Amino acid sequence: MPKEFSRIDRIGDQIQRELAQMIQRDIKDPRLGMVTINAVKVSRDMGYADIYVSLLTTEDLTEDSPQVQDSLAVLRKASGFLRGQLGRAMKLRMVPHLRFHFDSLPGKSRRIDSLIDEAVGRKPAVDRSDDTESEG
- Using alpha carbons only, give the angle 88, 91, 93 rounded to the nearest 5 degrees: 110
Tens digits of per-residue pLDDT, 9-35? 889 999 999 999 998 888 888 888 788
Alpha-carbon distance values, 109 to 36, 41, 52, 55, 83 (Å): 16, 21, 16, 14, 31
Domains contained in the chain, CATH given: 7-103 (3.30.300.20)
Tens digits of per-residue pLDDT, 76-119? 999 999 999 998 898 888 899 999 998 877 667 777 777 787 77
Mean pLDDT of the chain: 82
Cβ atoms of 55 and 35 closer than 8 Å:
yes
59 band by pLDDT with thresholds 50, 70 and 90: low
pTM of the complete model: 0.74
Q: How far apart are CA 36 and CA 63, in angstroms?
A: 15
